Amino acid sequence: MHAKLNMKTCAKLPLGALGVLCFLLPAFTEPAPAPRKAAADPSVTAALCQVVYPLDQSPEEGYRYMFLGNGFFVNNQGYVVTAAHLLSSFRYGGEPYILVGPPQGPARMLEAPIVAADWDHDVAVLRAKPNPFQNDKNIGFLALSADTLAPGADVVSESLIPPDEKDAHTSAPPREDFSQGEVIDYQFYRDRGDSEQQLLLFDRDVVPGQSGSPLVSTGTHAVVGVVVGRWLHPTVAPSGPESGHVTVSPGAALRIHYAIGLLEQSHVQWDMASKPPEVAAAPQQADGSTVPVPLSLVGVPYPPQALFGGEVTLDAEVGTGGKLDDIRVVSGAAPFLDVALGAAKTWTFVPARTDGQVVSSRIGIVFQFAQSFLPRVTPNLDQPTGPLPNVANSSALPVTTVQPDYPPNSLAEGSVILYGLVDAQGQLTSLSALHSVPSLTTSAEDAVRQWRFASGLRDGAPAESAVVVVTTFRRVTGHLSREP
């Protein structure tokens, strides 16, 4: 941590990871050492804007302003995504502004009121007024990608920072900070409240003022995260080209998943870099209708206080807006239920269709927290033995589940997310991995294929239904064998 960083918020990470995330705001001190430079991507630069608050104006220096951080455009309607913690002073009144224009100037200051904010997951959406895209052909926007990049994947980050944060004014062009690095790992983090955030850690230093900047995949040229700070704990790359390499205080970016959910909830259009196979070819039923398919999902952490494994089963409605509206808790208890509901409420789907019209539809969701250090659990009969009572519409629900084996010689942990279809006879007809964890996915798939389901109901009649299964593994701990 920089010795003179005097505007920061740090919080300890639960889950036993002994990590601290430092949210980086303007330090109002001498610039930190610059990150490793590379050739800047003009398309990224064109989409950047500075999030500011105007102070006063003079003929010589233009607007003087308080610099808060960065943001980036996600469409040509003037919508901007940024980190919510930059806007904490506007939570109960006032509004931020943004500076737009090329780094060389001249910069224009525009009102940018908060359209929506998810304070629990640290993401916010602003909208520039007036829309700068109407008169400026040099401004661009970035596509978003909900893909989970593998460790070792190349990413770039870019931001605009005034040369003097203590006396920032529009007549002085900002400096461009651009760095190229690699994905290290993913970590869950809890700042305040009960909501977990999933962070993408990358092997580059993040300096004050970069919060709110986009983290872009060099493979898809789409945003995969929003830079929020530094992970103040040495991190070891679990796999990839840098496997075993230790990075001290890597950069931390909030998964773009949370911004996608907020944009969908606010009915703001955004550009997807590439559609997942399940979305590109939504399964059609015999009558031509479709079931809801996942658009952006994240897994869950394994509760650190849990001594044994557990399961949570939900019967949820995917509304016409693609979010989970009516969530029925079929089974599950603390501490697993809390993290399961917290994750599910952030998920986004492509809603079902009937006769070409978007409709609400129910989907089954199971969170399975695999027991890693005891022998495999035999079929679990604590689940419901048929459709939910007294309901005309329900999702397919498991009546028998099997826990996966933790693969021998594996040190991996995390969530494997599977998406399947259960027909009107209760048979699992398809199963695909939305999120894989090397060495764990096959074990999770093999276990789910042994499950038995009760079919879903539509207007009281058996019907095909989609299911999502999230299997979270906890790393097997070592055992001591004492010699006689």
Going by pLDDT thresholds of 50, 70 and 90, the confidence category of residue 399 is very high
Task: Tell whether the model's pLDDT for residue 72 goes beyond 90.
Answer: yes
110-116 mean pLDDT: 97
pLDDT recorded at residue 244? 53
pLDDT in tens, 449-476: 999 999 999 999 999 999 999 999 987 6
CA-based nearest residue to 444, from 395, 391, 404, 397: 404
Angle at the Cα of 383 from the Cα atoms of 377 and 386, rounded to 5 degrees: 140
pLDDT recorded at residue 238? 59
Task: Tell whether the model's pLDDT for residue 202 goes beyond 50.
Answer: yes
Cα separation, 52 vs 75, whole angstroms: 20
pLDDT recorded at residue 274? 65
CA atoms within 13 A on the CB side of 249: 11
Task: Tell whether the model's pLDDT for residue 76 goes beyond 60.
Answer: yes
pLDDT recorded at residue 276? 55
Cα separation, 154 vs 216, whole angstroms: 9
CA-based nearest residue to 24, from 259, 165, 189, 230: 230
Alpha carbon distances (Å) from 254 to 21, 121, 164, 372, 422 = 11, 8, 27, 28, 33
pLDDT recorded at residue 246? 56
Q: Are 69 and 51 in contact (CB under 8 A)?
A: yes
416-435 mean pLDDT: 95
49-61 mean pLDDT: 89
pLDDT recorded at residue 355? 85
pLDDT in tens, 306-323: 888 999 999 999 999 999
Task: Tell whether the model's pLDDT for residue 211 goes beyond 70.
Answer: yes
Going by pLDDT thresholds of 50, 70 and 90, the confidence category of residue 165 is confident
361-379 mean pLDDT: 76
Task: Tell whether the model's pLDDT for residue 33 goes beyond 50.
Answer: no
pLDDT recorded at residue 106? 79
39-53 mean pLDDT: 90
pLDDT recorded at residue 104? 79
Going by pLDDT thresholds of 50, 70 and 90, the confidence category of residue 18 is very low
- What is the tally of helices (H) and strands (E) in the chain? 5, 32
pTM score, whole prediction: 0.85
pLDDT in tens, 36-45: 445 668 889 9
Task: Tell whether the model's pLDDT for residue 173 goes beyond 60.
Answer: yes
pLDDT recorded at residue 308? 87
Cα separation, 380 vs 234, whole angstroms: 39
Between 309 and 249, the more confident residue is 309
pLDDT recorded at residue 39? 60
Between 273 and 298, the more confident residue is 298
pLDDT recorded at residue 25? 64
Reported as type and span, the H/E element at residue 330 is strand 324-331
**High-pLDDT (> 90) share of the chain, %:** 59
pLDDT in tens, 278-302: 444 455 665 668 899 999 999 999 9
| CATH fold for the domain made of 8-259 | Thrombin, subunit H (2.40.10)
Going by pLDDT thresholds of 50, 70 and 90, the confidence category of residue 377 is very low
Residues 40, 46, 52, 56, Cα dihedral to 10°: 110
Task: Tell whether the model's pLDDT for residue 233 goes beyond 90.
Answer: no
63, two tokens:
């607007």
Task: Tell whether the model's pLDDT for residue 119 goes beyond 60.
Answer: yes
Could you give the residue range(s) of every CATH 2.40.10.120 domain in the chain? 8-259
Alpha carbon distances (Å) from 307 to 224, 312, 335, 405 = 34, 16, 10, 17
Could you give the residue range(s) of every CATH 3.30.2420.10 domain in the chain? 275-473
Q: Which of 270-279, 282-291, 415-424 holds the top average pLDDT?
A: 415-424
Which superfamily, per CATH, for 275-473?
TonB (3.30.2420.10)
pLDDT recorded at residue 205? 83
Average confidence score pLDDT of the chain: 84
